[in-house]
Amino acid sequence: MNSMNDDKSREALRRASEMAGPEPVTPDRVDIIPVCQPTLEGNERKYVMQCMDTNWISSRGKFVDEFEESFSHYCGVRFGITTNSGTTALHLALATMGLGDGDEVIIPSFTMISTANAVSYLGGKPIPVDVEPDTWNIDPDKIEAKITDKTRAIIPIHTYGHPADMDRLQSIADKYGLDIVEDAAEAHGAEYKGKRVGSFGKMASFSFYANKIITTGEGGMIVTDNEELADRIGTLRNYGFTQERHFWHKVMGFSYRMTNLQAAIGLGQFEKIDELVQGRIDNARLYSKLLADISGITTPHESKDVKAVYWMYGVLVEDDFGISKDELRQKLADRGIETRSFFIPIHLQPIYSYLLSDEFPVSEELGRKGFYLPSASNLRPDQIEFIVEVIRDARP
Ligand SMILES: Cc1ncc(COP(=O)(O)O)c(C=O)c1O
């Protein structure tokens, strides 16, 4: 690496370390308020016990089909294909499209690393685009400048549960002949102009990691309305087995299946999805109301025409708050309140340092100022009141 590149990397490391340092230590006490935890109060246990009692613990059990059907129909499409994570769902979706060497895919610069990695696993090149300062989603005004003759697709994410501007994204995709694959990992149940996320674009991927609005512990799903794609995804998920002969492979598939045990939990969760989504929304309404008069804290924006589901309730600590984000997070941790800092943008990640030549000022500002507060669906109003009081008292 030449010295100019060395300087750039050092500078990037400095900027990244302003965003997320080591996590503040959460005191060793039983009464902490975790940043998130699942609510497993429905039929999850009963369905898991049915798997145990019948010996159906692999992916070949009835709960897998039931969960796929229920969740995909909820999203407004006909097919769901479960996977063992949200990352493998995205990888599989892109593999099914035949994404390969040198293909470029537009992604937001402010996202979880999985969005970029799913492209890279296949030899493609993630092309980050900066995000909007209010919704924290990919900025449609900045996409066209990044499109080349190698661009194949756009992957929007619905950041922290706020839907991306799907109409504008679709019109750009149509103009340049690109596919849209939604990374809906964070947005179960969110709506854009009355339609659920997951029903836009060619395919969409979801995550069911334990902190997601509904969970299977670890897990994911691709949803699509296209039967041919759904069949291909199913084949690729399962080693690329052919119908005609067992152990006979014409395509290089993956081993990305969800187990019946996970799907049993997923189905139990799905039965309560309306309640779990509403819990997140109620949290957000109360947080925003109570935080409104604390200057220096910016609360999340909600665009008209969307139903945001507030997977995580994020705030920005502005310079006039008086103490830094890290100091505020430490004060919350001292009172037993767990928080998480926002993403470090893709271009500042050591594995994507070749993207450093470009600039992503909004993503960097979010990374520097943002963190999220406890957001579980079963968080109680008195806990939110306590958290807001700790923030109020922390202001010098
Ligand atoms: C936007 C986004 N995409 C993908 C993922 C990856 O999901 P998983 O952890 O299930 O692999 C996440 C996880 O939180 C995410 O936030």
Domain final position from 214, 249, 270? 270
Quick one: tokens of 396? Answer: 């010098």
Query: Does 59 share its domain with 178?
Result: yes
Q: Which atom of ligand 1 is nearest to the CA of 157?
A: 1
Q: Which has more pLDDT, 240 or 25?
A: 240
The CATH code of the domain that includes 381 is 3.90.1150.10
The CATH code of the domain that includes 253 is 3.40.640.10
Distance 219 CA to ligand 1 centre (A): 10
Q: What pLDDT is stored for residue 22 in this prediction?
A: 76
Residue whose CB lies within 8 A of the most ligand 1 atoms, among 35, 82, 83, 87, for a mutation test: 87
Query: Does 325 share its domain with 350?
Result: yes
Q: Which atom of ligand 1 is nearest to the CA of 88?
A: 11
**Greatest distance between any 2 Cα atoms in the chain:** 71
Given a cut of 60, is residue 2 above it in pLDDT? no
Query: Does 168 share its domain with 129?
Result: yes
Query: Does 366 share its domain with 239?
Result: no
| 347-364: pLDDT as tens digits | 999 999 889 889 999 999
CA distance 323 to 300: 20
Query: Does 181 share its domain with 243?
Result: yes
Distance 117 CA to ligand 1 centre (A): 11
| 102-126: pLDDT as tens digits | 999 999 999 999 999 999 999 999 9
> pTM higher than 0.85, yes or no?
yes
Domain final position from 211, 242, 270? 270
pLDDT average, residue stretch 2-10: 72
Domain final position from 235, 270, 305? 270
CA distance 45 to 281: 26
Query: Does 127 share its domain with 14?
Result: no
Report the number of distinct structural domains present in the chain.
Answer: 2
Given a cut of 50, is residue 151 above it in pLDDT? yes
Q: How many CB atoms lie within 10 A of CB 102?
A: 10
Residue closest via CA to ligand 1's atom 3 equals 185
Query: Does 284 share its domain with 173?
Result: no
Q: How confident is the model at residue 4 (pLDDT cuts 50, 70, 90)?
A: low
Q: How many CB atoms lie within 10 A of CB 392?
A: 13
Q: Which atom of ligand 1 is nearest to the CA of 186?
A: 16
Query: Does 212 share its domain with 79?
Result: yes
Mean pLDDT of the chain: 95
Residue range of the domain that includes 198: 44-270
Q: What pLDDT is stored for residue 205 in this prediction?
A: 98
Can you tell me which residue has the tokens 């893709």?
346
Question: Which residues approach ligand 1 with their CB closer than 6 A?
Answer: 85-87, 111-112, 114-115, 157, 183, 185-186, 207, 209, 220
**128 in Cβ contact with 345 (< 8 Å):** yes
Q: How confident is the model at residue 1 (pLDDT cuts 50, 70, 90)?
A: very low
Given a cut of 50, is residue 49 above it in pLDDT? yes
Query: Does 296 share its domain with 386?
Result: yes
Q: How confident is the model at residue 6 (pLDDT cuts 50, 70, 90)?
A: confident
pLDDT average, residue stretch 247-258: 96
Query: Does 232 share its domain with 87?
Result: yes
Percentage with pLDDT > 90 across the chain: 90
Quick one: tokens of 333? Answer: 């941790």
Query: Does 66 share its domain with 148?
Result: yes
Query: Does 62 share its domain with 175?
Result: yes
- For the chain, report the end-to-end CA distance as a whole number of angstroms: 45
The alpha helices in 180-256, defined as continuous H runs, are 227-237
